[in-house]
A and B are shown apart, each in its own frame.
Chain A
Amino acid sequence: MLRVHIFLLIACCCIAGSCGKHADARQREIMAIREMSDLVTVEYVVTKIIKANDNKTWYKAGDRKILMSCRAYLKAGIDLSAIKEENIQADGKSISIQIPPAKLISLNMPPEDIIVEYQEIDLFRSPFKAGERDALSAQAETQIRSSTEAMGILQAANANAKNLITGFLKRAGYTSVIITTQGSITNKPKQD
C-alpha cells in the first residue's frame, strides 16, 4: 500500500516538474545600416576586475573561482542632427547656439582586453566554458554602463563639444560665442 502511495506521489511531482515554463527572452536586434550625425568628443578608457565564485548551487560538489581583468572604451558626444535653425541666433559678430545634451555613443569591451588572470577549479568541477566567461564579462559590461553617471563622461563630452564648436566659430570670425545645452544632460546612458 505504501509503495502505491509513493508511486502516486512521485507521479504527481513529475507532472508538477513538467509544468516548468521556459521562456526565451533573448532580444533580437534588427540588422541594418543606420545613418547618424554623432560628434564624438571624449573617450574614457576604464578597467575593472571581474571576480566570481561559483559555490551557490547545492548539488555541485566543490567550488570554482575566477578572476578576470577587462578594459572598456566609452565614447560620448552630441547628436549634430538635433541642432536646428531655431537653436542658432547670429547677430553680426555674435552667435549663440543651443547644442543637444551629450549621450553615450558606444561602449566597447574588446575580446583581447578581457584576460583570465586566475582560476581555481576543484577536482569535481569542470573549468569555466567560453559562454560562462562571456556571461560574467557581460555582467561587468552592465556594471560599467551603469557607472557612466558617476564617471562624469557626459559632462566631459558636453564641455569638449562646446570648446570644439567655439574654436571653429572663433576661427570663422565670430568674436562672441555663447553655447548652451538644450535641457539637461541625460545621465541615463543609451543602450547601444
Chain B
Amino acid sequence: MKKIGRNIITVIVLVLIYWVLSKFNLLPSFGSIFKPEPVLIDDTPVLVEEIKKLSQLVTITVFDEVVIQQEKTDTRYLNNPEAIIPLPYRSTAKLVLVGRGKVMAGINFEKLTEKDCFIKGDSVNIKLPAAEILTVVMNPSDFETFSETGSWSPEDVTAVKLKARDKLISRAMQQNILQKAGGKSIETVRKLLALLGFTRINISGG
C-alpha cells in the first residue's frame, strides 16, 4: 500500500515538474534534441561579371508548376572496387522533382530597325518585332525534391531540371503565350504613343 502511495506521489511530482518546465519553455522536446542543425552557407561576395543594356518589353508572364520524373539503373556497387561493399548489385534510381517557375514573354526593341519606325508630325508607323520568350525563371528555391532514391550526380540532377524547364516552356506555348504577348505589346505601345501626343498610330507585328 505504501509503495502504491509513493508511486502516485512520484507521478504527481513528475507531472508537476513537467508542467512547470513546459510552462516556462524549459523542456526540450525529443524533436528538438535530434533535430539536425541547419546548414548555412558563408556570406561570400557577389561579383558583377557583366552589365548589359537591354530594351525589352515584357508583357505576359505565365506562372506554372511541373512534375518531372527520371529513372535510371543504379550501378554504384557494380564492379566498383572503391565501393565499401563491392557486391554485384543493381537497382533502379528514381528522381521526382516538382518545379515552379515563370515564363516571361514580350518584344525585344533591340530588333527594331530604322526602317521599322517612321515618325512624321503627329503620326507614327511602327512594325514591332515578333514576340518571343525573354526569360524563364526556375530558381533553386522553386524546386522541391519529392523523391530521390539511388545515386544522382549533380550533372544528372541538372539534366532533369532542364527537362522540367523545357516542360514549363512547352506548357506556356500551349497557352499561346507568344500571341498574347504580341497583342499586349501592341496595346502597350499604342497607349504610350497616344499619351505622348501621337494621334495617328499604326502598329503592326508584335
Contacts and interface: CB of A to CB of B under 8 A. Distances in A.
B50 A44 contact: yes
A90 B193 CA distance: 13
Q: Most A CB atoms within 10 A — which of B34, B41, B104, B175? A: B41
B139 A147 contact: no
Contacts of B177: 33
Contact of B49 (A1, A71, A138, A140): A71
Contact of B57 (A12, A38, A85, A116): A38
A42 B52 contact: yes
B83 interface: no
Contact of A48 (B44, B59, B136, B198): B44
A40 interface: yes
Interface in B51-71: 51-65
Interface of A is mostly: mixed
Contacts of A90: 196-197
Contact of A12 (B15, B31, B56, B95): B15
Interface in A120-151: 127, 129-144, 147, 150-151
A52 interface: yes
Contacts, number: 242
A148 to B, nearest CB: 9
Interface in A24-61: 29-54, 56-57, 59-60
Contacts of A84: 195
Q: Most B CB atoms within 10 A — which of A13, A115, A132? A: A13
Q: How large is the interface on B (under 10, 10 to 19, 20 to 34, 35 or more residues)?
A: 35 or more
B47 interface: yes
Q: How large is the interface on A (under 10, 10 to 19, 20 to 34, 35 or more residues)?
A: 35 or more
A47 B44 CA distance: 10
6 contacts: A8-B7, A36-B59, A39-B56, A50-B41, A83-B192, A116-B154
Interface of A: 1, 4-5, 8-9, 12-17, 19-20, 29-54, 56-57, 59-60, 71, 73, 75, 77, 80-81, 83-85, 88, 90, 95, 105-112, 114-116, 127, 129-144, 147, 150-151, 156, 160, 164, 169, 171-173, 192
Interface of B: 3, 6-7, 10-11, 14-15, 18, 22, 27, 29-32, 34, 36-65, 95, 97, 100, 102, 104, 106, 109, 117, 119, 121, 124, 134-141, 143-145, 148, 151-152, 154, 157-158, 161-162, 165, 175, 177, 180, 184, 188, 192, 195-198
Given A36-B59, A40-B57, A134-B143, 14 more contacts: A8-B14, A19-B29, A40-B58, A51-B42, A53-B39, A75-B54, A84-B195, A108-B138, A114-B158, A115-B154, A135-B140, A139-B40, A147-B46, A160-B54
